[in-house]
A and B are shown apart, each in its own frame.
Chain A
Amino acid sequence: MSKHRVASTDEIGDGERLILEVDGVEIAVFRTGDDFHAVLNYCVHQSGPLCEGSLAGKMVAEPPDFTWSYDDEPRVVTCPWHNWKFDIQTGENVRDDDYRVPTFETVVEDDDVYVIR
């Protein structure tokens, strides 16, 4: 495992992402607030460019009445090809956690963002 510098912190705005090649694979680094999350730019469904899709919150419905509410924490990326949705923090598909995309650890040091891979 190596530490790869991908950007300075001010190069990625809040709610935005940077897509770049890291050690031979295409990875997106998303920024939400002061946190950075790295996700493989690859949808496990049909190999689409997952991380080029929108980043948004998600619908939630809890018992007993299952009324829909909206969790607006922007942590769900939607594949632009077929709308599969994944959590950028865990890599899990939000509809069924049996499906997941690879995620990578990130660190921030001296205003630089690194991906561990």
Chain B
Amino acid sequence: MSDLDVVVSADEHVSEEVSDFFPYIDESRYGGIKRVIEQSAEPWREIFSVTPPLPPFSNTPMASDYSGAGNVMDQAGDKLATKLMRLDEFDIDYGIINPTLMVALPTVNNPQAAAALVDGYNEWVYETFVAESDRLTMEVVVPGQKPEKGAEEIRKWGDRDGVVAVQIGATGHRIPVSHEWWDPVYAAAEEADLPVTYHSSFPAIGHAFPLQHRWHELFAQDKVVAHPFSHMWNMTKLLYEGVPEKFPDLTFVFQEAGIGWIPYWRMRLDRYHLALGQEMPMLDSLPTKYIDDRFYFTTQPVGHTDRKDEHIAWMAEMAGPENLMYSADIPHTDFDAPEELFTPIRSRLEPDQVRGMMGETAMEVFDLG
């Protein structure tokens, strides 16, 4: 990787617990619900509604660690030092921070609690990581339960250095991300010139689409299904309902489902747009043209190919290399070291495509550096 000028992980995680950001929740505004949150012995079940079929990652170092893989890798003195140490270990120059616990935000039933959690989380991440390192940037988390609060958070944080995107979340929303309910968030993101990101998640799959807590018997089934199914549904709805036309300056980023689903879904979206386009008159070209222009995808986990590395390169070629951004997903136990992507593509794609996927595209999309 020595011939790369920059390596960016376009989806990194912090390992937060409610107790980390609880002190950052505004007492004057959320004092009541704060008292309730404080009394929860198990926030994942009592504030959030996470109901996997079996404990996540049982018999691994991440077993039932709802705050996210604290035991997977070495720890440094504090969470900031740990994060930077892990980037160093894998020669990653910049990391864009997403949460771990808070990806389950759509499962929070109480809207006051959702707003309070966001209030505290965004400030904690900014103060703890982003303000302390120019290698770390963050995505502002917004609550689907209160889109106006989301817009407020975007306006509060959006113009600060190191705030590079708006995290909407992809899984478990009861109101689909294409619905006009979300318009205040999209309008604020567009106004702030920030891309919107959709991070899929297994913790939220038990709550709402793509699967509620019924027939999965294994945690592994949640993990396989949650990510691509979330994106397939969200992307279909966003495109076919014309959200990119409604917000013509907005950029869309899909995180954590790998890249294999993209070519398949591109073909299906175009095929049924051409056949049934009378239902989507707001679009003036093929869905894939909107995707090519304004949709991006992070690569982790690229998938297992039984040493047929060329398949990774073929998938990237079909998905659109200019729209793919390497992501590590450290410290989660399905993370990708940079070589997981770099080795299959380095001699099979054009050098500028490889540089783009490994970091240069993310530098532009998130306006880093």
Contacts and interface: CB of A to CB of B under 8 A. Distances in A.
B289 A83 contact: no
Interface in A58-117: 58-61, 63, 66, 68, 82-85, 93-99
B344 interface: no
B274 A84 contact: yes
Interface residues of B, number: 16
Interface in B236-255: 242, 245-246
B245 A45 contact: no
B278 A66 contact: no
A90 to B, nearest CB: 14
A93 B273 CA distance: 11
A63 to B, nearest CB: 7
Interface in A4-42: none
Given A61-B282, A66-B282, A94 B277 contact: yes
B281 A85 contact: no
Contacts of B286: 95-96, 98
Q: Is the interface of A mostly helix, strand, loop or mixed?
A: loop
Nearest to B285: A96
B194 interface: no
Nearest to A83: B275
Nearest to A71: B281
A96 B281 contact: no
Contacts of A97: 285
Contact of B245 (A59, A60, A66, A68): A66
A82 B275 CA distance: 6
Among B277, B281, B282, which residue has the most Cβ atoms of chain A within 10 A?
A: B281
Contacts of A98: 285-286
B330 interface: no
A66 B168 CA distance: 23
Contacts of A66: 242, 245-246, 282
B290 to A, nearest CB: 11
A63 B277 CA distance: 18
Interface of B: 242, 245-246, 273-279, 281-283, 285-286, 289
18 contacts: A45-B274, A59-B278, A61-B242, A61-B282, A63-B246, A66-B242, A66-B246, A68-B281, A82-B274, A84-B275, A95-B273, A95-B283, A95-B285, A95-B286, A96-B274, A96-B286, A97-B285, A98-B285
Given A83-B276, A84-B274, A98-B285, 5 more contacts: A61-B282, A66-B245, A82-B275, A95-B283, A96-B274
